[in-house]
């Protein structure tokens, strides 16, 4: 389940570029120093809303004296691109992310200034209960915001996307009343811990689905969800736990694990629904050092339906998230050979192709063979 600490490179390599210098990635203006996400590639404007959900039937797995509370962000096609844009992180969340990574050379609130594209509480566009739903889960210690660029892009192509903050597994989660939940789960790394994390996240996903297809089904944004077309995906442990969610919840039709090793192979039942594994070539190609690829190989036989194993040359762990884009704009070097914008483009293209195939039934040759458009990506074909 584990990937390396997503921001580990922040503490390792800082370029001489100050935070006030021009970003290295393409942006709205060449001399604009504000960090920003790449624009969505679809034809729809994107709306977003935040939801505070409480499960009265389940104690929190990390703080059992309280019920499980979640903050989630809902992204959806919108009628207009005009209006206030979503704040990326709160100042407290930004400070916690940088502090956990040991970064002291940037303003503590710098990640709260990242420019996004989704319009807060925009009017939804689309047929009621007519759009597929994708649930995304971030890596351990990471805020849900780190998957914003992917969520915005999917929404611009006609998906409803919900990104879940798994409370107390993230360095900081801010609630509407101003409370900031710390990372109660941090600091433990045995196999039993990862199983607990995996199973708890699967329960979180099922609860979110219960809410979006039940009490909240008429809420703007959620009212677009077609409950018969649901898939899950995530990064790092969020990817590995997505497979657990698909096993646990029959409503989920397909799952993606992006760069997340699986620490408990051989103990899971067969999963017949479609699965895609997408990761760094230097970690997830067969024979790569470190053993991450071995966890995928051991898990591969239990995936009995449609499946793909894809690896990306030159990518590093943050390359599949917003951090791979925003970090270089702030003068941070993750050691990736593919730049941040390219990493985002690869991730968006392959993730959307998977969902287009399995939620919309649209053929996707991109997933079957090498592509001249994405020469960094190769298909692994294990013997079993």
The domain segmentation of the chain, as residue ranges, is: 8-12+36-380
d(CA 274, CA 265) in angstroms, rounded, equals 17
Three-state secondary structure of 193-217: HHHHHHHHHHHHHHHHHHHHCCCCC
d(CA 358, CA 220) in angstroms, rounded, equals 25
Tell me the DSSP string of 126-170.
S-TT-EEEEEEE--TB--GGGGHHHHHHHHHTT-EEEEEE-TTSB
Q: Which residue has the tokens 């420019």?
A: 115
Tell me the DSSP string of 36-76.
BPPPP-SSSEEEEEEEEEEEEEEE-SSSTTSEEEEEEEEEE
Which sign, positive or negative, has the C-alpha torsion 86, 78, 349, 306?
A: positive
SS3 state at 280: strand
Q: What is residue 32's predicted lDDT score, i.e. its pLDDT?
A: 65
CB under 8 Å, gap of 24 or more: what pairs does 283-292 form? 283/259, 283/317, 284/259, 284/309, 284/311, 284/380, 285/311, 285/378, 285/380, 286/380, 286/382, 291/261, 292/3, 292/261
Q: What is residue 8's predicted lDDT score, i.e. its pLDDT?
A: 39
d(CA 172, CA 175) in angstroms, rounded, equals 10
Q: Which of 273, 263, 317, 267 is nearest to 294 (CA)?
A: 263
Q: What is residue 270's predicted lDDT score, i.e. its pLDDT?
A: 92
Q: What is residue 265's predicted lDDT score, i.e. its pLDDT?
A: 59
DSSP state at residue 34: S
Q: What is residue 263's predicted lDDT score, i.e. its pLDDT?
A: 78
Q: Which residue has the tokens 């449609």?
A: 306
Tokens of 201: 């996240």
SS3 state at 286: coil
SS3 state at 234: strand
DSSP state at residue 380: E
The residue ranges of the chain whose pLDDT is under 50 are: 1-29
pTM greater than 0.85: yes
Q: What is the pLDDT of residues 315-330, one digit of tens each?
A: 999 999 999 999 999 9
DSSP state at residue 335: -
DSSP state at residue 303: B
- CATH for 8-12+36-380, options being 3.30.70.80, 3.40.50.1820, 3.90.920.10, 3.40.50.2300: 3.40.50.1820
Other Cβ atoms less than 10 A from the Cβ of 103: the count is 18
d(CA 337, CA 314) in angstroms, rounded, equals 4
Q: Which of 366, 150, 354, 144 is nearest to 253 (CA)?
A: 354
């Amino acid at each position: 389940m584990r990937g390396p600490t997503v921001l580990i490179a922040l503490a390792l390599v800082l370029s001489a570029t100050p935070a006030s210098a021009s970003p290295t990635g393409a942006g709205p203006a060449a001399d604009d120093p504000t960090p920003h996400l790449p624009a969505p590639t679809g034809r729809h404007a994107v709306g977003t809303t935040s939801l505070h959900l409480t499960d009265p039937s389940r104690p929190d797995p990390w703080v059992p004296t309280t019920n499980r509370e979640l903050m989630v962000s809902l992204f959806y096609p919108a009628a207009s691109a005009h209006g206030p844009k979503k704040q990326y992180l709160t100042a407290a969340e930004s400070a916690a992310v940088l502090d956990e990574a040991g970064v002291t050379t940037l303003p503590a609130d710098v990640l709260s200034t990242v420019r996004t594209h989704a319009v807060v509480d925009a009017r939804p566009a689309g047929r009621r209960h007519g759009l597929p739903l994708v649930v995304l889960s971030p890596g351990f210690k990471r805020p849900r915001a780190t998957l914003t660029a992917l969520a915005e892009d999917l929404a611009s192509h006609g998906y409803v996307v919900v990104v879940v903050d798994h409370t107390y597994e993230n360095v900081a989660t801010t609630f509407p009343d101003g409370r900031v939940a710390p990372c109660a789960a941090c600091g433990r790394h045995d196999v039993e811990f990862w199983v607990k994390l995996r199973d708890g996240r699967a329960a979180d996903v099922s609860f979110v689905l219960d809410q979006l297809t039940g009490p909240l089904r008429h809420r703007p944004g959620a009212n677009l969800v077609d409950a018969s077309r649901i898939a899950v995906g995530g990064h790092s442990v969020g990817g590995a736990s997505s497979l657990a969610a698909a096993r646990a919840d029959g409503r989920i039709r397909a799952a993606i694990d992006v760069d997340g090793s699986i620490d408990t192979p051989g103990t899971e039942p067969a999963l017949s629904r479609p699965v895609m594994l997408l990761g760094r070539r230097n970690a997830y190609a067969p024979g790569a050092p470190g053993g991450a690829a071995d966890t995928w190989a051991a898990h591969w036989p239990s995936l009995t339906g449609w499946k793909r194993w894809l690896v990306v040359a030159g990518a590093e762990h943050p390359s599949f998230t917003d951090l791979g884009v925003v970090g270089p704009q702030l003068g941070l070097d993750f050691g990736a050979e593919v730049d941040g914008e390219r990493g985002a483009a690869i991730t968006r293209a392959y993730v959307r192709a998977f969902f287009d195939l399995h939620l919309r039934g649209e053929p996707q040759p991109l997933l079957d063979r090498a592509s001249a458009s994405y020469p960094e990506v190769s298909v692994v074909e294990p013997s079993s």
